[in-house]
Amino acid sequence: MSGTLRGPGADVAARPAAGLPWGGTAEHDPLAAQGAERLRRAGVEATHICYPGLIHGSSSTPDLLTASRTDVDEVSLHPRPRSAEMSIELKLVMELLVEIAPTLEVGQTPHGFRRVIPIVGGTFEGPRLRGLVLEGGADWNLRRSDGVAEIWARYTLQTDDGALISVVNAGLARGEHGAPDRYARTVPSFEVGDERYRWLERSVFVGTLERRSDGVPGVRLQFFEVA
């Protein structure tokens, strides 16, 4: 504690700067010592302002007690600092045009209707990278009883400068393709050995998914970094 000021006659110039820790208590407040002791034990540097002649709870009637009115005024002089507002921004990382082969239907399982959708190629491009979608991946898709499809796709990207990037793209889809209520959102994650693309492992990403509109069997995806 940095000391005690006796209010309400305490000089305003001697009061703590706005936003700094401080405490105001009534002279006859049985809880006053507890608060001061907790601050001291926590190592918090703060100013304690004591208001003579007042009892616990008197600040709730500031119009009746002049000293209590001063206590309320202290609060307006030293407002609690506001936390910085948080915001989220999405930055496009890449767009993928993925080619798929005919679906392999595993069938009804205890978890839902399982399908395997082979990935046979494609391309991707973004502000910081571009290249090919390699053959050999697949979406192990599960259609649940509530009509929602669980997406779980794994495949490999090859950049135009030779780096390989392993992708796992998981998400949910509902509604028919092209319908107004269609929803398909994913959360892609990446593994990469090339230091030039390690930044893909250091952020959270979200994605969109829709059928390709160019007549090629496959899907169009967009991946965004959450900044």
Which pLDDT score is estimated for 168? 98
pLDDT at residue 34 in the model: 65
pTM score, whole prediction: 0.64
151 and 193 inside one domain: yes
Sort 35 into a burial class: Cβ within 10 Å, 0-12 / 13-18 / 19+.
middle
- 30 and 119 co-located in one domain: no
Residue 83 lies in a domain: no
**β-bridge partners, 185:** 172, 208
In a domain, 100, yes or no: yes
Q: How far apart are CA 172 and CA 151, in angstroms?
A: 6
What residues of the chain score a pLDDT lower than 70? 1-40, 42-84
Residue 180, domain CATH? 2.40.160.20
Q: Which domain holds residue 117?
A: 90-226
pLDDT at 10: 43
116 plus 149 within the same structural domain: yes
Domain annotation covers residue 9: yes
Is residue 62 reached through a cis peptide bond, with omega within 30 degrees of 0 on the bond before it? no
Residues contacting residue 22 through CB under 8 Å, at least 6 positions apart: 15, 16, 46, 47, 48, 49, 74, 78
The pLDDT assigned to 11 comes to: 46
Q: Which of 77, 98, 119 is the last residue before a domain boundary?
A: 77
The pLDDT, as a whole number, for residue 216 is 97
Of 77, 107, 139, the residue that ends a domain is 77
Number of domains in the chain: 2
Q: Is residue 85 part of a domain?
A: no
Please state, as a whole number, how many other Cβ atoms lie within 10 Å of the Cβ of residue 125. Answer: 12
Beta bridge partners of 164: 158
For position 178, what pLDDT does the model report? 84
Rounded CA gap, 193 and 207, in Å? 22
2: its two tokens = 């940095």
